[in-house]
Chains A and B, each alone.
Chain A
Amino acid sequence: MIILFDLIILIFVVICAVTAITVKDLLSAVMILGAYSFFMCLLWTEMGAVDVAFTEASVSAGIGTILFIAAIIKTTRRSKD
């Protein structure tokens, strides 16, 4: 419940979100999305929603990243057109 701490994490969340959608490489985008999930988890914990933070950390940062990577292995590094 410290406003300064809240704002710092929020800035990191926004930076991660904007980077994840602007970066060209898909694997980098997934890694940045994982970092986004962890910052989001920190923000939930700081605001007192520990249960939501737990779900965010286990589902979004854990299993979600793995599923994205499993899908990205199926693609090629460069686009064909």
Chain B
Amino acid sequence: MIRKTDDIIIRTVARILVPFIQIYALYVIMHGHYSPGGGFQGGVILGASIVLLLITHGLVETKKKIPEKAIALFSSMGVFIYAGIGVLCLLLFGNFLDYGKLSVILNIPPAAARAMGILGVEIGVSITVMAVMISIFTSISTAEDHSKYDKEH
């Protein structure tokens, strides 16, 4: 259903704009624990950049850049990173998501280990949110045409 637009202006502007949107999303994720923003908002902005590519360049061309298998893999990988950090703290005799215990593996003081731990969790959240946003959009826009279905039945 979503196909490439014929307008060269829209295609060029979208292609130029996408990297800047992604850089901004990475900024939002990285500064999530100092300033407004974080994993969820950054992930949504990352997903929006791919959705912009989808509605301007079509499904076929975007699938070459980010295949559907990769999206499915990303959406479970983010949860795995989140839960993995939590269980890793559990294995180091701390509570679930007790980042202070990570200082043993990372070889840094506990305060710095807390900052690194929350950053890892934010990255996991952002990967999952990005993949889920893209897959929701593709499954809404490529679903079967219901007006045709109503005529047949």
Q: Which residues of A contact B (CB under 8 A)?
A: 50-51, 53-55, 58-59, 62-63, 66-67, 70-71, 73-76
Cross-chain contact B44 with A62 (CB below 8 angstroms) = yes
The answer, yes or no, to whether B147 is at the interface (CB within 8 Å) is yes
Cross-chain contact A71 with B140 (CB below 8 angstroms) = yes
Contacts of B40 in A (CB 8 A): 55, 59
The answer, yes or no, to whether B48 is at the interface (CB within 8 Å) is yes
Cross-chain contact B140 with A58 (CB below 8 angstroms) = no
Cross-chain contact B41 with A54 (CB below 8 angstroms) = yes
Cross-chain contact B145 with A58 (CB below 8 angstroms) = no
Cross-chain contact B141 with A73 (CB below 8 angstroms) = yes
Interface centre among B28, B40, B137, B141 (most CB of A within 10 A): B141
Look across to chain A and name the residue whose beta carbon is closest to the beta carbon of B40. A55
CA distance A73 to B28 in the complex (A): 32
CA distance A54 to B55 in the complex (A): 24
The answer, yes or no, to whether B100 is at the interface (CB within 8 Å) is no
Which parts of B109-144 form the interface with A (CB within 8 Å)? 133, 136-137, 140-141, 143
The answer, yes or no, to whether B69 is at the interface (CB within 8 Å) is no
Contacts of B141 in A (CB 8 A): 70, 73
Contacts of A66 in B (CB 8 A): 48, 51, 55, 137
CA distance A58 to B143 in the complex (A): 25
A-B contact pairs, 20 of them (CB 8 A): A50-B36, A51-B38, A54-B28, A54-B36, A55-B40, A59-B40, A59-B41, A59-B44, A62-B44, A62-B48, A63-B44, A63-B47, A63-B51, A67-B136, A67-B137, A67-B140, A70-B137, A73-B141, A74-B143, A76-B147
Measured between C-beta atoms, what is the minimum distance from A14 to chain B in Å? 26
- Kindly identify which residue among B28, B133, B137, B146 contacts A74, using a CB–CB cutoff of 8 Å: B146
Interface centre among A53, A55, A71 (most CB of B within 10 A): A55
The answer, yes or no, to whether B45 is at the interface (CB within 8 Å) is yes
